[in-house]
Amino acid sequence: MPDNKNRRRRLAVFRRLLAYGLLGLLITGFLWPRPVMVEELARWQFGQILAHLVSGADHWLIVQLTLMIVLTWLLGRWFCGFICPLGALMDLTSRLRGLFFKQKFGPTPNAPRQIIVPLALLLLFWLGVTAPFGLLEPYSLLIAKSLWYPGPNLLLIAVIILAIFRGRYFCDHLCPTGFILKILAKSAPFHLHINNSCLGCGACARVCRASCVDGQTQTLDPGRCLLCLDCLAVCPNGSLTWGRIKANANARRRAFLGRLTFGVLAMGAYFTPDALRAKTLGPPSSIPILPPGALSLAHLNAHCSFCHSCVRLCPNQALVPSEHQHPALWNRPVIDAYQGFCQYDCVLCAGVCPTGALVPLSLETKRITRIGTALFERDECVIIRNGTSCGACAELCPTGAVSMVPTKAGRDEPVLQDNLCVGCGACQQACPVRPISAIRVTGLLVQQTADSPVKIKTLDVTMTEDFPF
């Protein structure tokens, strides 16, 4: 008996070390100059894969998701207990509180209201309203980093406080990923169960953060069980065991109907074009500059999960979370040309996107991808208005779309060639006119292709000083 108890404790410790280790890698990645490990971990997050698969994806992602679904179908919610970094953070904060206060949890019955929020999020996601899903998707909720809009950070704080007092309440009542995994794990053939030797002491229920096990009634809900294995470690006589359990006919029927419903919704989202889903939202009143590789506003809205990996890694700090109130634009990554411009020889943002919202581009393709169009207000230019020599916009334009042309007045003026402009925003940032630049860039609903420049300027430097005008 002691050997079995030690073995069960070792399993629980192994689970914690794995979960906390992945969380530690994530935190280390934030402190690293180029956190590649963060982006690689994102590619194995269930919610990020779902966002990637909407309206089609490559074969590897389908295989990857199929493997995760089959394992959940057989073993239960292993992802929530072993892989999810937000789940590990909730476990850790709850455990730390237990060092100072007596921490007890209790069983709660499965109630229909538990599915209201996550089901609504998934239905809205299918219709094209993806912002609620992005806010509550666990990986994006954990790593979203915004200095301009504090919403995700405040939400993360609220989830941590909730975890301190209610354990993994978020996983069962709010998390869209948890809702899908709950459906898949219902009636899993291999899961924890309570045998007839149970003493009814309630030790398992007191440590269960999912509130899914009741030692007194000897019941355990495999759909809500997160496989944290804490109950297995504290059981005094080994009444909780792992093995194959055959569910009754009613449970199997309910599980089949739930999985069938999820399958229909998933197939509907997969085959519904982005443009058709975007029509639910209507056109925005104005369009900011979307990052290169976004392809279109409809594509960005359909796949972006608000993780802001691109915002964090932009070397020129040009990408910011949008404050636009339109649901397809709110909190999406956009280029603020007053803060920074899109460097001509940089393809980092698309390379780190875990959901395919930004499609990776080769350097040659990126150089001719038009993400916006420039508008030159001649009367506002300091050359015309003040008679001052300038030329900052032409100096920084990497494609030669803005050039200085001599005039009869004896001074050079900017001239814009639309066919060469890629909308990088360098001209807008360089222009000394404020609060509104004399030359500024507006975004496109669908990104286009510009003409190849005859001569490329490689002036991709971050501006640290204002022009002396």
Q: Give the range among 155-159, 196-200, 299-303 with minimum mean pLDDT.
A: 196-200
**pLDDT the model gives residue 13:** 92
Measured CA to CA, the distance from residue 116 to residue 79 in angstroms comes to 22
Q: Indicate the helix (H) or strand (E) that contains 374.
A: strand 369-376
pLDDT at 368 over 90: yes
Measured CA to CA, the distance from residue 237 to residue 232 in angstroms comes to 10
The gap from C-alpha 11 to its chain's centroid, in whole angstroms, comes to 31
Measured CA to CA, the distance from residue 335 to residue 88 in angstroms comes to 33
In the block, residue with structure tokens 């207990």: 81
CB atoms within 10 A of CB 263: 12
What's the pLDDT band for 468 if we cut at 50, 70, 90?
A: very low
Residue type, 328: A
**pLDDT the model gives residue 243:** 83
Mean pLDDT rounded to a whole number for the chain: 85
Per DSSP, 79 falls in state I
- The per-residue DSSP string of 37-102 comes to HHHHHHTT-HHHHHHHHTT---HHHHHHHHHHHHHHHHH-SHIIIII-HHHHHHHHHHHHHTTTS-
**pLDDT the model gives residue 82:** 93
224 touches 172 (CB < 8 A)? yes
pTM for the complete prediction? 0.85
- On the question of a cis peptide bond just before residue 435, with omega within 30 degrees of 0, the verdict is yes
What's the pLDDT band for 415 if we cut at 50, 70, 90?
A: very high
pLDDT at 244 over 80: yes
**pLDDT the model gives residue 342:** 95
The gap from C-alpha 264 to its chain's centroid, in whole angstroms, comes to 24
Write the CB contacts of 228 (distance below 8 Å, at least 6 apart in sequence).
12, 15, 81, 91, 208, 209, 210
38 touches 143 (CB < 8 A)? yes
Q: What percent of the chain has pLDDT over 70?
A: 90
Identify which has the larger pLDDT, 55 or 282. 282
What residue ranges in 57-194 does DSSP mark as E strands? 190-194
Measured CA to CA, the distance from residue 181 to residue 223 in angstroms comes to 8
Measured CA to CA, the distance from residue 307 to residue 291 in angstroms comes to 14
Mean local confidence (pLDDT), 138-165: 77
**pLDDT the model gives residue 407:** 81
**pLDDT the model gives residue 145:** 61
Measured CA to CA, the distance from residue 153 to residue 163 in angstroms comes to 15
Q: Give the range among 32-36, 73-77, 121-125, 294-298 with minimum mean pLDDT.
A: 32-36
CB atoms within 10 A of CB 100: 7
**pLDDT the model gives residue 460:** 45
**pLDDT the model gives residue 333:** 94
Identify which has the larger pLDDT, 220 or 460. 220
pLDDT at 401 over 90: yes
What's the pLDDT band for 467 if we cut at 50, 70, 90?
A: very low
**pLDDT the model gives residue 152:** 56
pLDDT at 352 over 50: yes
Domains of the chain: 2-270 (no CATH), 297-449 (3.30.70.20)
Mean local confidence (pLDDT), 330-354: 91
